[in-house]
Amino acid sequence: MALRYALLAALHEEPATGYDLNQRFGRRQGFVWSASHQQIYRELGRLHEEGLLSMEAEPQAERPDRKRYAVTPAGEAALRDWLATPQPRPATRDPLLVKLFAGDLVDDEALRGELATLRRAWEERLAAYREVEATWFSDPETLSRHYRLQYLALRRGITAGQAWLHWLDEAEALLQDA
Amino acid sequence: MALRYALLAALHEEPATGYDLNQRFGRRQGFVWSASHQQIYRELGRLHEEGLLSMEAEPQAERPDRKRYAVTPAGEAALRDWLATPQPRPATRDPLLVKLFAGDLVDDEALRGELATLRRAWEERLAAYREVEATWFSDPETLSRHYRLQYLALRRGITAGQAWLHWLDEAEALLQDA
DNA sequence: CCTTACATGTAACAAGTTACATGATTAG
DNA sequence: CTAATCATGTAACTTGTTACATGTAAGG
């Protein structure tokens, strides 16, 4: 049920098309909430049907119409309600941990390879996050509340990444002489 | 597709009933892979149909039969194959981050409350993990490879928890004077 | 008296994934 | 010649959630 609120939140910041949202949910917002384009289009359709979004179609020559969505007052109210309701924590479901748990059946080379890939992925992500941090949030104290909260979302990404890298150090050390 | 391998891994360690597995997947293994009892029973049925699990029903008076499952050679082969295949990282989908992203629409009290709840939850979890660590893994260097890997899964839980608490400190400080 | 443990399941639904479809334009 | 960008969608499938069902016995 949270995808719809992620969409409402994104559209509250700025009206957009499904296409735009799909870009964002793959990149900037991917670390907050990821979704495929099919999910996005489907959910936008529903939100519009329910009157939480308004839609304006811009006809285009030789292409499907661009449909620009914006949050209606009803949509904003729904979002506010949801924001005020405590959400249960998402369950952990990590295939890597399943592999570790399977223990002795795991091939050593394959495991090391997967850890190495994970390290590279997090190093890249962290670098990207840090660049955003340096460019937009260099002086957090002076930010408005709105941007402080967004900064905190980014900080969550950063601290999570650091924790993974730290764990990877431990893992590689402990596998060294296993 | 990973639930089935989580089940195979658990049953490879020790044959069990659906009921047993449901206990485990709520507790010890909940931080590795969580699942509801309905998912577990459904998947066990499928795995048995496909010949990856053997099943022995123990009739009980006045109660449904206990069905004890064990991994067949075909099941172990399937598990090994899966373990050797790199798995994509699970997508991030955290409603709390969606809330932070929505920024100024979030009520301050509600947000602080949710952070406080999160802190308590992680403190409890961390305490539990640390007890497991102290009891079973006090001397990691001497562990067999099998238990080292399980220890690493636990360490992942611990380092993740520490990162959350660290982030919560940051969050509370930054919200102090917003 | 009410809840929890025991032990399994059916049914219906919501959420998320994968494959396929259209069709022009631009960049390598 | 191939792939990517633009812009939306349908259809079929898998995974995960929620509600409901059964029926005894023990513990607070």
The count of other CB atoms within 10 Å of the CB of residue A21 is: 22
Asked if residue B91 keeps its beta carbon closer than 7 A to nucleic acid strand C, the reply is yes
User: What is the pLDDT at residue B60?
Assistant: 80
CB contact at 8 A, B56 and B15? no
Mean pLDDT (whole number) for A76-96: 96
User: Closest Cα partner for A1 from B155, B168, B174, B93?
Assistant: B93
CATH number of A1-84: 1.10.10.10
**Residue ranges of chain B with per-residue pLDDT less than 70:** 178
CB contact at 8 A, B52 and B78? yes
Asked if residue B75 keeps its beta carbon closer than 7 A to nucleic acid strand C, the reply is no
User: What is the pLDDT at residue A50?
Assistant: 96
pLDDT band per the 50, 70, 90 thresholds, residue A31: confident
Q: Which residues of A touch B33 (CB under 8 A)?
A: 92-94, 97-98
Q: Alpha helix (H) ranges present in A66-144?
A: 73-84, 95-102, 108-136
What is the per-residue pLDDT across B27-77, written as a single tens digit (0 to 9) for each? 777 889 999 999 999 999 999 999 999 999 988 877 788 999 999 999 999
A14: nearest CA partner in chain B: B102
What is the residue-averaged pLDDT of chain A?
94
Instruction: Give the whole-angstrom CA distance, residue A28 versus residue A6.
Output: 13
CB contact under 8 A, A32 and B97: yes
User: What is the pLDDT at residue B63?
Assistant: 77
User: What is the pLDDT at residue A30?
Assistant: 79
Mean pLDDT (whole number) for A44-50: 96
Q: Is A112's pLDDT higher than 80?
A: yes
pLDDT band per the 50, 70, 90 thresholds, residue A70: very high
Q: Which residues of A touch B4 (CB under 8 A)?
A: none
CB contact under 8 A, B174 and A76: no
CB contact under 8 A, B12 and A160: no
User: What is the pLDDT at residue B166?
Assistant: 98
CA distances to B25, B26, B33, B40, B90 from B36, in Å: 8, 8, 10, 6, 19
Tokens of A144: 């408005």
User: What is the pLDDT at residue B178?
Assistant: 61
Instruction: Give the whole-angstrom CA distance, residue B70 versus residue B51.
Output: 11
Strands B63-71 and B16-17: antiparallel
User: What is the pLDDT at residue B5?
Assistant: 98
Q: Rounded to 5 degrees, what are φ and ψ at A21? A: -60, -40
Instruction: Give the whole-angstrom CA distance, residue B65 versus residue B56.
Output: 10
